[in-house]
Amino acid sequence: MFQLSPSAKILPLLLAVTITLTTLVDGAFSPARISFESLVQPDSASRELFLRSLRNIGMISVTDIPYFDSKWETLNTLPACMKDSFPEWALEHTFADGTRRQTLASHSVGNIHAASPVPVADSDSCAAFTEASQTFRQVVGLVLAAFAEQLAEVLNLDDTKPVLMDKSSIKPYSLVDIFEGGDQLDHFHCYYSSEEEDSSFALGEDTIEWHTDQGLALVFTPGSTDGKPTDGFYIQLEDGSTEMVDFQKKDDLVILLGDGVNQYLNRVIDADHSLRALPHSLRMPISSSSDSVSPRVWYGRMVLPPSAAMHPFHPFTFGEIREQMIIEDGGSMIGCSEDLVARELSETTCEDGVASYCWHRCMNFTEYGVSPEICADQQLDLACINEEGYLWPGNHDPAFAIGCIDLSTAENLTIMDDSHNDNGHDDHGETTNGDDHEHDSTTTPSGVGFHSGRFALLVASISFVASTF
């Protein structure tokens, strides 16, 4: 249980405990909201809201995070740095509706360790972004740590109840261990919608189609333009209905559950506490219509299991599953088998001979003009690939679709991680030797332990991070 120290210097900032129930506002879905203080020092009402929201919806918003100016400083400096960093460090993808998305990405291990720097251009705008984002990402890690502690408590999953094991079946991983020692992928996005009048939002079509994320959780900032939350984020409720989420500026961070809860978490908890992976989609708002208009900016961190942890139903570690494609049955991969993928959407049980699973959904052969037979006529195999011919590694990337390729020579896409810094990034004055970064000053103070539930020390850590730069 978290204990609030009377000497905590930021107590006046946290006096109001805010608990907001899920409602429909003007036809839009208002997410369940819980204040940061309620997250780390819950009473019975906030604890019940926390569990009910994750069971019935699969999402909760965290508000009133202290010392969180770095969020808007990061998002406000992102577009200029993105422009400077493209194409050397930023990737671009154009969706079917014409929406362009540019991305900066990085990687970290666990919540409370110094995250790897985001590879960016050597420019004044990127220096401002780097300074703000380092602080911001550290605070995100601390909030995730508090979330993990609260989740473990309400699910009755302490250190004595492992969720996963390593390959030798010697090292157990508790729920908190997964958050503290798992791989975490950070993505910063700038979206520019199509300049055409018949945009996806106007026509009611999805820019990013319905899917569930493959990680255990995704923590993100709601999409915004010029500091104001944008429309266009949709979720699918338990009854199958869909609603657009009415995010507000007070939604500091939103935590959404991915298919990891189905793969390995729900199997170790009571059935009446089962959590829900939330299907969601995006329709790009019309407002960000060109480079002359500020883009829709978004940040997300996906929480993945430790690379050394074994999948509970397959003889592979999660690292092996993420790094290579295991081909079975003429083109399907073990990463797309029934035990590994989301089954929230009825369409994800792909009809044999009609569709194949790719990028978190079933893709119809007719829609994509391809089939196992068409590929066989070309002496190729049906697989989930991108335009460059790389195999889908199971990550969050809609650039992948079903197509024909020679699986005997096809290569897996390598997800960007720390090693991306090795390619000439030393010119920016950053080391490439693992934890030996210049940014170690962002590391949390020694002794920060969330198993002990020391709320005052948690807040002091956030204060420390916020004042470091």
Spatial CA neighbour of 255 closest among 300, 212, 223: 300
Highest mean pLDDT out of 57-61, 112-116, 437-441? 57-61
Say if CB 100 and CB 191 are below 8 A apart. yes
Q: What mean pLDDT is reported for the chain?
A: 76
Q: Where is pLDDT greater, at 110 or 27?
A: 110
The whole-number pLDDT of residue 249 equals 95
The whole-number pLDDT of residue 353 equals 83
Q: Are strands 91-94 and 100-109 parallel, antiparallel or unpaired?
A: antiparallel
With bands split at pLDDT 50, 70 and 90, how would you rate the model's confidence at 394? low
Lowest mean pLDDT among 35-44, 69-78, 191-200: 191-200
The whole-number pLDDT of residue 347 equals 28
The whole-number pLDDT of residue 19 equals 44
Q: Where is pLDDT greater, at 276 or 349?
A: 276
- Rounded alpha-carbon distances, angstroms, from residue 444 to 66, 143, 253: 16, 13, 20
Q: Which residue blocks in 272-414 are alpha helix, DSSP H?
A: 318-323, 365-368, 372-377
Lowest mean pLDDT among 46-55, 105-114, 371-380: 105-114
The whole-number pLDDT of residue 15 equals 30
Q: Where is pLDDT greater, at 112 or 327?
A: 112
Q: Which three-class secondary structure state does DSSP give residue 405?
A: strand
The whole-number pLDDT of residue 307 equals 84
The whole-number pLDDT of residue 194 equals 76
With bands split at pLDDT 50, 70 and 90, how would you rate the model's confidence at 464? low
pLDDT above 90 (res 143) = yes
Query: 66-94, pLDDT tens digit by residue?
Result: 989 999 999 999 999 999 999 888 989 89
The whole-number pLDDT of residue 195 equals 63
pLDDT above 90 (res 232) = yes
With bands split at pLDDT 50, 70 and 90, how would you rate the model's confidence at 27? low
**Full DSSP string of 213-224:** -SSSEEEEEEEE
Q: Where is pLDDT greater, at 449 or 256?
A: 256
Cα 446–chain centre separation: 27
With bands split at pLDDT 50, 70 and 90, how would you rate the model's confidence at 407? confident
Query: 424-460, pLDDT tens digit by residue?
Result: 333 333 333 333 333 333 333 333 333 334 445 555 5
Q: Where is pLDDT greater, at 209 or 420?
A: 209
Interhelix angle 44-56/124-154, rounded to 10 degrees, is 100
**Full DSSP string of 90-124:** -EEEE-TTS-EEEEEEEEEESSSSPPPPPP--SSH
The whole-number pLDDT of residue 272 equals 80
Instruction: Compute the CA torsion angle 454, 186, 166, 256 (nearest 10 deg).
Output: 70
pLDDT above 70 (res 237) = yes
The whole-number pLDDT of residue 425 equals 32
Q: Where is pLDDT greater, at 146 or 337?
A: 146
Q: Where is pLDDT greater, at 154 or 356?
A: 154
Query: 284-317, pLDDT tens digit by residue?
Result: 986 544 444 799 999 999 999 988 899 888 888 8
